[in-house]
Amino acid sequence: MNGSMTVAMDLGLALLAMLPEHLLLMGAVLLLGLDIAGKGARLALSVAIAFVAAGAIAAVVMGAQGISGEVFPGLLAVSPSVLLAKGVLLGLAVPVLLMSRDDFEGGEFPALVLLSLCGISLLLSAESLLISFLGLELMSIPVYALIVLGYRRPESAEASLKYLVLGGTGTAMFLMGVALLFDATGSMALDTFAAAMASPDLVSRAAVVLILLAFFIKAAIVPFHAWAPDAYETASLAVTAYMATIIKGGVLLAIARIIGPAPITSPMVELLVLFPLVSIVWGNLTAMRQGSFRRMIAYSSIAHAGYLFYAMLGDGAGRFAAMVFYVLVYGVVNVLAFAALPAAHEDRDRDQLEQLEGLYHRQPFAALVIGVAMLSLAGLPPFPGFVAKFLIFKNVLAAGYGTYAVLGLVGSYVGIYFYLRVIQLMFMSRPAQAHGADFTIHPNPRPPLTTSGFAHSAAVLCLMATLLLAVLPGWVLAHL
């Protein structure tokens, strides 16, 4: 039969269409090679950044070119919107990698990130739940290791285990859902899920619920969120940034892909509103009490996952684009905040909010940048977070869910306070007097975690992106 012929022809296409994935894999392999050769330390980061950036550019260019098609029929497909989404996520990885310079040496971190990114790419391109599963795992497994990788804090192993157990449970739930779906329909194609969502049949519904909830776990939606604060807090800054932005974005865009553009009906729609709504309120409330910056961002990201799920309510056509835009904005400002965080001796101190007290008087640029990031996360105009939030709630309202929109907005109001608290600490408090003495008192000198030029360049990169998004949101939106 001519099956082999098709495969051969497809191979050429696949190489092209999956260029980002290939670039990532090549990068990962190269890094491993370098590592084995013992030359990793110097080159690793540059290589990784080069490959990720190339992947991002490739994705964006191909997306802009409008390339689409079934690479592997029934398994993998590319479309402009997915390619752009990949481009966004890979692009976000560039500053994250830049930041990592302060925490990591060697090739492990970049290699793991590249593999994980590869998983995300697969996840986004998947046309079958089979591939989704693989992508999901390929995305997650390196992250379990990444959390402990810096091992600046002994608790990180605990956090990693928690993430692993809950993540594994999530995987099992996903699989259970797939199994039930497969049992009911005999297919693992993505559109069976969309069909099942509207199906009256209880097994289908149970399957849908299981799969959805698996994504809730991965995206840290209340009450499946509990791993996130622990993991975010103890992971190194770059890893936290990676989890909070890229993993989260990838997961959410993936579930958006799985759900597809069809309108969502009751009872699933309530699931997609109530859990996120609780997340918004819960995350925003709990964030108020946190003393650790990363933990606060974790709760903030729980709330933001809520907003992103809200986007599912929107009109089918614009849904995915809105989410990509949101992920882009949210990712950029989050990375911005992390990249600008000042240095400290101990990782634990580094993200204590008290550490930020009077930051403006020590590092005005960092304070201003973090301020911009906080306000943007809070969704206050004129920062890009506002446009993103506006977009989502506009879509929700347009889809006729007025009450939910208002509730979501009110929930988001609760969040303003803790973002402002950061600003308040940075600008309105005098720096603690101990700071000058800090350097002398500390007897046990771990090398101070400096913020190097790399982190700065990451911050500048993100700041430029933030400004672009603030000034020309229309232009960006038009191209998504």
Partner 1 sequence: MDEAALLNLMLWLPVVGIALIPVAVRLAPARGGAVTRPLTLAVMLLQLLLAGWLTARFAVDTDGLQFATRIPWIAAWGVSYHVALDGFNILLVLMTAFLGPLVVASAFRRIQKDVPLFYAMVLLVQFATMGTLLAQDLFVFYVFWEAMLIPMFLLIGIWGGERRIYATVKFLLYTAFGSILMLAALIALVFTLSTTAGITSFAFTDLYATRLPLNLQLLLLSGFALSFAIKVPMVPFHTWLPDAHVEAPTAGSVLLAGVMLKMGTYGFMKLGFPLFPDATQQLTPLLTTLAVIGIVYGACLALVQQDIKKIIAYSSISHLGYVMLGLLSLDLIGIQGAIIQMVSHGLVAGGLFLMVGMLYDRYHSRDLNMYGGLAKLLPVYAVGFLIFTLASVGLPTTSGFTGEFMVLLGAFRAGWTQHVAGSSYALWLAAIAVLGVVLGALYMLRLALHLLFGPVRVPNTDGGHGTVTVPVRDLDWAERSILGALVLAIFALGLFPDRALRMTEPAAKAYRALIQTSRLPLGDGLVGAVR
Partner 2 sequence: MSQTLPAPVDAAWHALLLIVLLPLAGFLINGVLATALGGRNVSRRFVSVVACGAAFASFLLTLRMFLMLRAGGYLPIVDSVYRWALVGDYAFDVAFYFDRLSAIMTLVVTGVGTLIHVYSTGYMHDDKSYGRFFAYLNLFLFFMLVLVLGRSMLVLFVGWEGVGLASYLLIGFWFDQLANARAGRKAFITNRIGDAGFLLGMFLLHQAVGTLDMDTINRAFLINPLPAVSASLIGVLLFVGATGKSAQIPLYVWLPDAMAGPTPVSALIHAATMVTAGVYLVARMSGVYLQAPEASQVMAIIGVATAFFAATVALVQTDIKKVLAYSTVSQLGFMVLALGVGAYGVAVFHMVTHAFFKACLFLGAGSVIHALSGEQDIRKMGGLAKRIPVTFATFAVATAAIAGLPPLAGFFSKDEILWYAFASTGGGSPWLWGVAALTALLTAFYMFRLLWLTFLGASRVEPSVAHHIHESPLSMTSVLVILAVLSAVGGALALPHFLEPQLALPPVNEALHHLETPLVVVSVVLSLAGLAAAWFMYGGATSRAAAWQARWPGVHGVLAGKYFVDELYDRLLARPLVWISREVFLKIGDRLLLDGALHGLASLGQRAAGALSRVQSGSLHRYALLVMLGLVSALLWSWSHG
Partner 3 sequence: MLLGLSIALFSLGLLGVIVRRNALIMLMCMELMLNGVNVALVNAMVDNRATAGGVLVFLVFVVATAELAIAIPIVLLLVRRTRSLDIEQYSDLKG
Sites of contact with partner 2 (CB under 8 A): 161-162, 165-166, 169-170, 173, 200, 202, 205-206, 208-210, 212-213, 216-217, 223-224, 226-227, 229-230, 266-268, 270-271, 275, 282, 285-286, 288-290, 414, 417
Shortest CB 89 distance to partner 1, Å: 22
**CA quadruple 97, 101, 102, 108: dihedral positive or negative?**
positive
Which region among 150-158, 275-283, 344-352, 362-370 touches partner 3 (by CB under 8 A)?
Answer: 150-158
β-pair partners for 78: 69
Which region among 34-42, 270-278, 395-403, 444-452 touches partner 1 (by CB under 8 A)?
Answer: 395-403
Q: How many CB atoms lie within 10 A of CB 307?
A: 29
Residue by residue, what is the 3-state secondary structure of 210-237? HHHHHHHHHHCCCCCCCHHHHHHHHCCH
By CB under 8 A, residue 284 contacts partner 3? no
Shortest CB 390 distance to partner 1, Å: 7
By CB under 8 A, residue 420 contacts partner 1? yes
Identified binder of partner 3 from the candidate list 50, 54, 176, 477, rule CB under 8 A: 176
Q: Measuring CA to CA, which residue among 355, 96, 33, 354 is closest to residue 247?
A: 96
Identified binder of partner 3 from the candidate list 158, 315, 346, 349, rule CB under 8 A: 158
151 or 427, CB closer to partner 1? 427
172 is in the binding site of which of partner 1, partner 2, partner 3, none (Cβ under 5 to 8 A by kind)?
partner 3
Question: What is the total residue count of the chain?
Answer: 480
Q: Binding marks (x or -) toward partner 3, 74..113, rule CB under 8 A? A: ----------------------------------------
Q: Measuring CA to CA, which residue among 327, 284, 324 is closest to residue 415?
A: 284
User: Cis peptide leading into 473, omega within 30 of 0?
Assistant: no
User: Which phi and psi angles does 55 have, rounded to 5°?
Assistant: -60, -45
Query: Is 405 within 8 Å of 389 (Cβ atoms)?
Result: no
SS3 104: coil
By CB under 8 A, residue 284 contacts partner 1? no
SS3 317: helix
Shortest CB 202 distance to partner 3, Å: 13
Distance between CA 426 and CA 368 in Å, rounded? 9
Shortest CB 158 distance to partner 2, Å: 8
Q: Please, which of residues 428-457 interact with partner 1 by CB under 8 A?
A: 428
427 is in the binding site of which of partner 2, partner 3, partner 1, none (Cβ under 5 to 8 A by kind)?
partner 1
CA distances from 348 to 101, 162, 391 (A): 18, 19, 37
Distance between CA 229 and CA 294 in Å, rounded? 8
SS3 70: strand
285 is in the binding site of which of partner 1, partner 3, partner 2, none (Cβ under 5 to 8 A by kind)?
partner 2
CB half-sphere exposure, 11, CA atoms < 13 A = 5
64 or 406, CB closer to partner 1? 406
Identified binder of partner 1 from the candidate list 424, 452, 456, 457, rule CB under 8 A: 424
Close Cβ partners of 92 (under 8 Å, ≥ 6 residues apart): 245, 246, 249, 328, 331, 332, 335
Q: Measuring CA to CA, which residue among 287, 319, 280 is closest to residue 407?
A: 280
Which region among 32-40, 66-74, 159-167, 374-382 touches partner 1 (by CB under 8 A)?
Answer: 374-382
279 or 466, CB closer to partner 2? 279
Which region among 138-146, 156-164, 305-313, 423-431 touches partner 1 (by CB under 8 A)?
Answer: 423-431
Distance of CA 349 to the CA centre of its chain: 25
Residue with tokens 């720096």: 431
Binding site for partner 3 (CB under 8 A): 128, 130, 133-134, 137, 141, 144-145, 148, 154-155, 157-162, 164-165, 168-169, 171-172, 175-176, 178-180, 182-183, 186-188, 229-230, 233-234, 289-290, 295
Binding site for partner 1 (CB under 8 A): 360-361, 364, 375, 380-382, 386-387, 390, 393-394, 397-398, 402, 405-406, 409-410, 412-413, 416-417, 420, 423-424, 427-428, 473-474, 477-478
